[in-house]
Amino acid sequence: MISGQVIVAGQAEGEILYSDVPLSFWGGVSSDTGEVIDRHHPLSGEILAGRVLAIPGSRGSCSGSGVVLELILNGNGPAAILLERPEAIITLGVIVAQEVFGVSIPVHCLGPDSFQNLAKTGPVRVSGTPPLSPDTVPAIALSEKDQALLDGRFGAAAQVAMRIVLRMAAIEGATELIDITQAHIDGCIYTGPGGLAFAERLRDLGGRVVVPTTLNAISVDQRRWRRQGIDPAFADAASRLADAYVDMGAQPSFTCAPYLLDTAPKRDEQVVWAESNAVVYANSVLGARTMKYPDYLDICIALTGRAPKAGCHLDAQRQPALRIILPALGAVDDSFYPLIGYLGGTLASDDIPIIGGLGHLAPDTDALKAFGAAFATTSGAPMFHIAGVTPEARDAGDFNALPLRQHRVSHADLLRAWGELNGADAGAIDLIALGNPHFSATEIAALVGLCRGRTKHADVTVIVTCGRWTLEQARNAGHVAALESFGVQFVTDTCWCMIIEPLIPPHTRTIMTNSGKYAHYGPGLSGRAMRFGSLAACVEAAVSGRDAGHLPDWIVRS
């Protein structure tokens, strides 16, 4: 008998599928089949259907909740989920299935000791008493407007949204809700018919956002998918999903880098952002305040304007618990930042880290974007600090007075991370994938400089994804014409975590990228082998048709 906290009630039984490594459902599990497709995860190749999944928690993408929802609705999900610690992304997918579609699976939180005992467990039966309903949770103080939302006086969509907000607030340990000033929605990514039905139901119930709301990258280039040859059935569903959120009042920004927009929040502004890389950038680089909000909770908060007062909304929850110390470094290239972000995320797990040894390099916003995206891929933490660089680390004297656990990064650590991102052998390259997260105007300008006067190899495809606004900036600067003459294709609205054939040419065997995020997710999402390197190395491969596989000098010197 193992007891724990019942997060979502229900009964189930099945064989334990156990791992002590957190799992990102988006990019880590197929929403169609229930197979674990994260080729870096110990459970890679396992099938979830009918089994009791035991994992410490989630990591990586906020879109995992959408994958969980689809799996529950199509019958390919686990029979139950047992967690080591409370977490929002997986749990929210189950709660939406229950609140909106009337189907569910049990979710329990066991704590570290009981969770570890599951490693040697065979078949199990899961049962438990339901937690309090959101209407009767006494620990959450409701304002008069909160109660009116819950009673349905602001409409049925806002009522459903408020129920979900309060259930998640209870899980987060919040005692009250706070007002937020803006939202960024990640649930507009098409994971399957369940997510589409959810958005259209909220819209049809009269849902309207009550704060300025931007939309993440969607699953197709909405204006050009026909000429790109995308399957009409998939593209129509993905476009309908985007339209449902626009119908609810969201702006069709369609970018996974909302911090590049002129609406980016200011320091200490309380916001609700989803999309993992955007969350860590908002908290860490901008100094705004948001939790790592799961898909679907983002729109629920945008419809009510109210969020749990918990997590990174609070000063105490923004403190580091880990100090990562880098080796002495001289000059580095741009592959350094995603690699260190990727490694830092694996070291941090759910803890907020402070990274030392970077300040003298003065990383710019593009470097911090690349770092944050890779960090958010391998970590469940909602932010990081960099000593002497990020605003709260500067203000706190780099948190020198805090008793933090420490990890000193070694040469072996760097080589291991480099090897994980370079899963393919050096050699022929078929596709260069740039823009995960979406390229900025300055990254496009840097690419122009690297391509100028050179000729692309005929057998290599080069694709850059970026936001519509960024593309117009680059076009006005003459950069789009210059790169298109080199052979670069620009794709807007969507990004690499959603791109499929035929945008990925069917003959493609090896993809090269400068994104730590896509180097990690790419094998599972695209079915192709990945090479990782600097932007300059990607251009060299585009010209020669090959990646020589040389280690960067900064790793060799470290």
C-alpha closest to that of 205 among 338, 300, 70? 300
Asked if 85 and 113 count as a contact pair (C-beta separation under 8 A), the reply is: no
- b/e code 380-405 from CB counts within 10 Å (16+ = b): bbbbbbbbebbebbeebebbeeeebe
Tokens found for residue 10:
């229900």
Q: Is 10 left (phi over 0), alpha (psi -120 to 50) or beta?
A: left
Are the C-beta atoms of 5 and 47 separated by less than 8 Å?
no
Which residue shows structure tokens 């069917």?
A: 506
Q: Are 200 and 74 in contact (CB under 8 A)?
A: no
Q: From 267, 266, 317, select the one nearest 291 (Cα to Cα).
A: 317
Catalytic residues: 61
Count of CB atoms situated within 10 Å of the CB of 440: 22
Cα–Cα dist 19/515, whole Å: 27
CA pair distance 127, 11, nearest whole angstrom: 4
Write a three-state SS string for 91-109: HHHHHHHHHHHCCCCCEEE
Hey, CA dihedral for 216, 222, 224, 226, is it positive or negative? positive
Evaluate whether 245 touches 493 at the Cβ level (below 8 Å).
Answer: no
Pairing of strands 546-547, 427-428: antiparallel
Q: What is the Cα–Cα distance from 37 to 256, expressed in whole angstroms?
A: 22
CA–CA distances in Å: residue 98 to residues 105, 145, 297: 8, 25, 14
Say if residue 78 is exposed, middle or buried (CB neighbours under 10 Å; 0-12, 13-18, 19+).
Answer: buried
| Amino acid letter for position 284 | S
240 three-class SS: helix
- Identify residue 475 by its one-letter amino acid code: R
Rama region for 353: left / alpha / beta (φ>0; ψ in -120 to 50; rest): beta
Strands in 353-356's sheet, in edge-to-edge order, are 385-386, 353-356, 322-325, 405-408
From 7, 34, 341, 25, select the one nearest 189 (Cα to Cα).
25
Chain-centroid distance, C-alpha 105? 24
The two structure tokens encoding residue 280: 């860590």
